[in-house]
Amino acid sequence: MIVSWNWLGEYVRLDVPVDVLSARLALSGLNHESTSDVGGDLAIDLEVTSNRPDCLGHIGVAREVSVLFEQALRVPDPRPRTGGEAVSALATVAVEDASLCPRFTARLISGVKVGPSPWRIRKRLETIGVRPISNIVDATNYVMFECGQPLHAYDYDRLAGRRLEARRARAGETLRAINNKVYELRADQLVIADAARPVGLAGVMGGLETEIGAATTSVMLESALFDPISVRRTSRALGLFSPSSYRFERPLDRETTEWASRRCAELILETAGGTLHPGVIDVGAAAAARPTPTLRFAQIARLLGIDVPRERAVAILRALGLELIEETAASARFRVPTWRSDLEREVDLIEEVARIHGYEHIPEDRAVPLVGSARGVVERVEDAVREALCGCGFDEAATFSLVAEPLAVAVDAGRAAGSDGRATLPPIRVDHSSRKLENALRRSLVPSLLAARRHNEARGNLDAELFEIAHAYLPRTGDASARPDEPSRLGIVAGRDFLGVKGVVETLLERLHVDVKPATRPAALDFFEDGRCAELWLGDERWGVVGEIRRAVLDDFEARAAASAAELDFGLLLKHARLVPRFAHLPAQPAVERDLSLVVARALSWSELAATVERAAGPRLEAVAYLDTFRGGNLPDDRESVHFSMRFRHPERTLTGEEVEPAVSAVAAACAAAFGAVRRG
């Protein structure tokens, strides 16, 4: 927000140097960017935070100055003269949805003469970087930069049906804006229309066909409030930004809407002549009740660490426009002014007291009582995951949730068992994102991590091993308008092979002491190489996928080296993790190990074979481990020899070889019955 020093002086007495004023404003929350001389006036550039739209006009800044320097605030009281027929008999206004347009006012001025604005108005607009256009348009801009409320002036004689209506755009409608560009409108965009067609994008920009020109003699003046989200969505979708849209994207003061209309009408009468028709058309929902927070005086010292006298605190808040409703020795209750929508709670009032009283009065070494909070389960599990993966040689990444649409793929799309079908739905697009390319919500972390790995490769780091804990965004089946599911995921991308990443996942389970038996099942997914991909299960719950990424996918990402990935449901880790491990005695009895080689079909997966071994080996089996696979030699092309070991143990005594042999034979027999396996060697 650029403020003119001379203009600011109309509302508050400025008897301090500009650098003193700028420094004091900065300490109170309006950061000073720069001050420059513009033709004898000073242009002061202030950074206005998004929660202070009341300071997007000279009067709002003047209010801050008046409180900080204890000066009187002078706000104009516009009382334009009226004459002729009432505006209600000459024009109509309608609002289709009050939630999108809470208030719409209109005034009519006839008999105006369009021409240049007086030097005083032109000079002030030029100081803040606004190009003067005409006395009518300059009046709307002047009032917007005076109070923060945007306005728009229409050529009344070009309005079909002498009507203005705030409504959603209809299918096929277009608008040629005052920048002479034609925009195709969507049904979710709010427009201002006359009886025939749209004449403006609500809160963003007016239409060319009804703009003020040299031949204009009658002006319909609009001052309205629009839903900030609707304005932001329209502005982002069309790539169309203006000082008006910047202000409408923030909550504006409802009471200023009508004041701005009167003020602008007064300026138009002064600079362009004409007759203001009596009355104002005012359409919209009733105003909401204003918050009435209570300030407990003892809380000031507790939160700030300094004592601010009760009288001083009350005086500051009243000077800021808060209405004192009731006061006791211990507290005071206030009604918040309409222009301060950011004040709702007691702590907000304490912050106002602190910034006006002066942060410099708070000593740096003053102790403020704090109570430490314990870390929750989520944080503790996240820390354990980070410790385990960093110990395995990984680095944590942080990537954007909004990605380019090619990255918004789901790694479990394809033929995965247990897939609920949502992975194949189109990604959720965010059209109002300020990022032009990244406008889709990711459904998987792996593509983002793979892109980060590719970025590292391009800069000579060829061994980036990355993981991330973050949300994915899945559309709800059959309901495109519903909010997406946001499951928490753990994504892993590494230059290791399938078994290497699978080993990392198993290490993670050990570190978290997960007491549910994990399992892997072969899967065929479009993202991974055939035969090098598996679904991961914890008990009877699908946990995620792991696999080697297809070369074609790597080529799409322009990745050089081979890579594998895993994506896991972090919620299941939270559910089954045991952060405090349980004590267990070391085995007191020795184990007996036996190796077994079975000739089986190549299509048989190790998980199927291992499950059969565990069922058949009996209660003394402690573990079964894959060793290797042999192919070729005298074996048929469709057969292979799988070599694995079994470990047996009795909890109370030493097992003998004779006791173990029946279990080994039972395993061989069960595998022969189930898979046609033949014992080898």
Question: Angle, nearest 10°, between helix axes 58-68 and 18-27?
Answer: 90
Per-residue pLDDT tens digits for 24-57 = 999 999 999 999 999 999 999 999 999 999 999 9
- Answer yes or no: is pLDDT of 421 > 70: no
The structure tokens listed for 395 are 């680095």
Q: How far apart are the first and last CA of the chain?
A: 85
Per-residue pLDDT tens digits for 539-567 = 889 999 999 999 999 999 999 999 999 99
Per-residue pLDDT tens digits for 468-485 = 999 999 887 655 556 788
- Answer yes or no: is pLDDT of 636 > 50: yes
Q: Write the burial class of residue 6 (CB in 10 Å: 0-12 exposed, 13-18 middle, 19+ buried).
A: middle
Per-residue pLDDT averaged across 329-345, rounded? 95
Are 118 and 134 a contacting pair, CB within 8 Å? no
- Pick the range with the lowest mean pLDDT from 1-5, 215-219, 571-575, 666-670: 571-575
Of the ranges 117-131, 405-419, 464-478, which is most confident? Answer: 117-131
Average pLDDT, the chain: 91
Q: What structural domains and CATH numbers belong to the chain?
A: 2-68 (3.30.56.10), 87-284 (3.50.40.10), 294-360 (3.30.56.10), 377-576 (3.30.930.10), 592-679 (3.30.70.380)
Sign of the alpha-carbon torsion through 252, 253, 254, 257: negative
Residue 213's SS3 state is: coil
- Answer yes or no: is pLDDT of 433 > 60: no
Per-residue pLDDT averaged across 197-209, rounded? 94
The structure tokens listed for 529 are 């190489």
Which secondary structure element, helix H or strand E, spans residue 115, and what is its range? none
Give the whole-angstrom CA distance, residue 155 versus residue 141. 16
Residue 198's SS3 state is: strand
- Answer yes or no: is pLDDT of 498 > 50: yes
The structure tokens listed for 665 are 């034979």
Per-residue pLDDT averaged across 331-343, rounded? 95
Name the band, by pLDDT with cuts 50, 70 and 90, for residue 415. very low
Alpha helix ranges (H) inside 224-345: 228-238, 243-248, 254-272, 297-304, 310-319
Per-residue pLDDT averaged across 287-297, rounded? 93
- Closest by CA to 11, choosing from 71, 74, 63, is 74
- Answer yes or no: is pLDDT of 137 > 90: yes
- Pick the range with the lowest mean pLDDT from 90-94, 149-153, 532-536, 565-569: 532-536
For residue 423, what pLDDT is reported?
59
Angle made by CA atoms 581, 587, 590, in degrees to the nearest 5:
155
